[in-house]
């Protein structure tokens, strides 16, 4: 099963071979966790949302369309799970300040402190964005999805996604330099 691509594995899951979901879980659970962690700033909520996504994948496996990338379909489910969570729990409580652990070798403690300061400023700037802008940056920059994939996930055209990413990055840049 290791040699099958995501779509082939999902077709197996769709046909009832539920053990084919294990490689997909192994491949994507950390990425989904980081996606949710950056959006919710809460570890336990992020873990719950990852579990919710994979439960929904099982529940809605019959609706999977082989013409679409599994990753796009999964992120659509993830976006819906996050939206449902946010709708049901208007108050978001953060238990995490720095959602990304970046390992950097530096020659001095001063460089490390400067890097930490820049990262903190970046995350403060990210928190200043609207939810849609934060999500589109998360998908494009942190999750590494292509504009085509984001368009499929969000329902926007590819050109609209490009414009939204461009505007979100400009807004992020502006906020970052205001905070720096």
State pLDDT tens for residues 125-162: 998 999 999 999 999 998 999 999 999 999 999 999 99
Q: CB within 8 A of 44, min separation 6: which ones?
A: 95
- pLDDT for 13-52, tens place per residue? 999 999 999 999 999 999 999 999 988 889 999 999 999 9
Calculate the average pLDDT of the chain: 87
What pLDDT shows up at residue 170?
95
Inter-residue contact 46 to 40 (CB < 8 Å): yes
Tokens linked to 119 = 């990262």
């Amino acid at each position: 099963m290791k040699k099958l691509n995501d779509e082939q594995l999902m077709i197996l899951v769709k046909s009832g071979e539920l053990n084919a979901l294990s490689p997909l879980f192994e491949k994507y659970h950390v990425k989904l966790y980081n996606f949710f962690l950056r959006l919710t700033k809460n570890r336990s909520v992020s873990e719950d949302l990852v579990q919710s996504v994979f439960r929904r994948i099982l529940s809605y496996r019959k609706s999977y369309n082989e013409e679409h990338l599994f990753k796009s379909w999964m992120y659509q489910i993830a976006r819906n799970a996050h939206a449902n969570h946010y709708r049901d729990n208007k108050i978001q409580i953060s238990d995490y300040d720095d959602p990304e652990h970046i390992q950097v070798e530096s020659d001095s403690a001063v460089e490390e402190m400067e890097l930490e300061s820049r990262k903190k400023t970046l995350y403060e700037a990210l928190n200043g964005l609207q939810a849609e802008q934060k999500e589109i940056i998360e998908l494009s920059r942190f999750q590494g999805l292509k504009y085509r994939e984001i368009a499929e996930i969000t329902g926007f055209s590819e050109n609209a996604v490009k414009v939204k990413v461009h505007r979100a990055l400009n807004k992020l840049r502006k906020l970052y330099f205001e905070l720096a």
